[in-house]
Structure 1
């Protein structure tokens, strides 16, 4: 390993030791050593939280010891504290810090879990519906609309359907359809018809069908969710169409094989959407409705058009995926080191295989509600 990388790894694996040093200095002292003042203040505040007297001394002591044992980085500890401090009830913040310090996973995976836990505990202020207008900057103003996921997604689909230039950046391409709709030139919002894939486990479907699915939440391939009651209402309104398709998934192999063809049929596309409701590339939030079908093992290298070799990727990540990267059973050497990584199926689920060999999943909340997560 490169000496600089070794030094960096030594620093990142000694977060608690570094913060103990920070506790002995003011942020301005740290700034004199080349650390920007805002970062230095973050370090000293975190050090004060970790090592100062608190309302849960035993939990604090055990959590700090575990963080040191697990060699968590400063950034990992900053992330944990950012979410835990939102809980104001006595002892709640340290209880969550201890829980997050003990949780396995990458920083991004633990953060996704932390956001959910804070929401469950009522620590995050919920957004309120409304329209907000920004001030003028360089002759331009910004409008921001917050409303239910269903209404905003229906608006998005309406604007998408009116895009005339697919080569434009999406934000620019949506502008004229938006004003056309506002000024009365359009035909109104598109009525929801769920060609969108809805994933629901067999047990939950039985509950919903019997009218007992009030607590059931299902995810859709347009990036939204709906309750069991909304699912039934959509069916009663005819929004689900006149056909019900059932996809069969194996816990480790993924979708069951259907056809062999160069281009994915509509059934294969539906299976791929049911498995990955949003683009599975880490940090991507493009819903499967706007994604392209992607061959995990490239067709040009002999990859078959079957469910277990297909996934959904947004246009951008489908383009940057390293089709020529290392693959199992490769018959010829890779022409070059992968630059961005490539999608791979691991234990049934689609993950990004990074150039360094790590498997990373998308932490989008809908990403964890696809068909493979229901079995």
Structure 2
């Protein structure tokens, strides 16, 4: 049987009205830019009201298709079910093919309609909707589908946990919908005026009612949450490995605090008078961090991981501390690719070189036959004593304005170890993962002068392009003490005038 349009199963009157409404709004997008500010906001409100009615109708149509496709609920013979007549396995497939919506969206509409439609039993008894207040507000366009979904999902969760009676749930539903439709009254305003309400305020109100209706408090929720906690690494795609999961509230709060503390302040690059070009002004220059907030969080997270892996308290693997193994063939050492154990994504050989000087890393080089021809030793890396000394000197990442502390930084060979640079405190500086990872591309340059790090900023940061000393807190304190000693000595050596 040839497939027919799904709209053929609708009443002609409904179909005609829906079809007639399409051309009314389909050509209005071009005129939006000509609206005034007040008209633009008013149009957004009118469109939202219109969209709520459209969404409610889409939910109802999806639910009716589901009801007529159901083997038991429809009361139809198998060959007369709607989904069978349109050569589909179920109502979801009918919607997917007829409307081009995703399977997830089709199921979402059907689920909401099942909760908000009246039912007729096989004996002809009319039963009210499971959520009558939500159903009335949704079909009247007073609330949107997002609001209806959120409330019914939360109440379904309460019901699965048990301990909430039908009357209590119905009372909570009515009170929440009443507040959502009429708004919150304000003591400072006339009784016939209400404050506007946001969706976040609605969520808070639903949460408060959920806590009230839960006899056992939030402890069962915490126990249930603990069973579903976890972090997952997805399959590599487009050079990235997806990270997903669910954190316990205290873990999420702690992680958020770390992100907030180390997402970086606006860097300042101070120009001292003795380092300024002749006739050039000097002062504090603000540097804009080009990274987005998610990118900053990623870089902070990497620093945390590397710090934990390099810690002496980290669990051992095969009798040794967790070691990141980077493999590269001899032909790929310059400009080729390398592999990192545990991840199925090739990385540039330059990444292998950078990783090899950070600690807790071992580099393995193969020839074409697969024979190991070079095995990097961890002993050549900066020792714990050297790292502590460099940390005291630098105080953290030496790039001006970076807030990553010393414990989270990597030690970078200023003169590359592969080019003969020594593993010595006079050749090592602290860099956070982000600045270390992008050092070659960022145009930041580093020099060591008598054991003191100097940095040169990119031209877009400092048009002078001069090397300036890195001034950590310890170095600045010592500088102040030295100046104080010099002033004291000069005062003692000053001649005493006789009267």
TM-score (norm 1): 0.37
Which has the larger share of helix?
2
TM-score (norm 2): 0.29
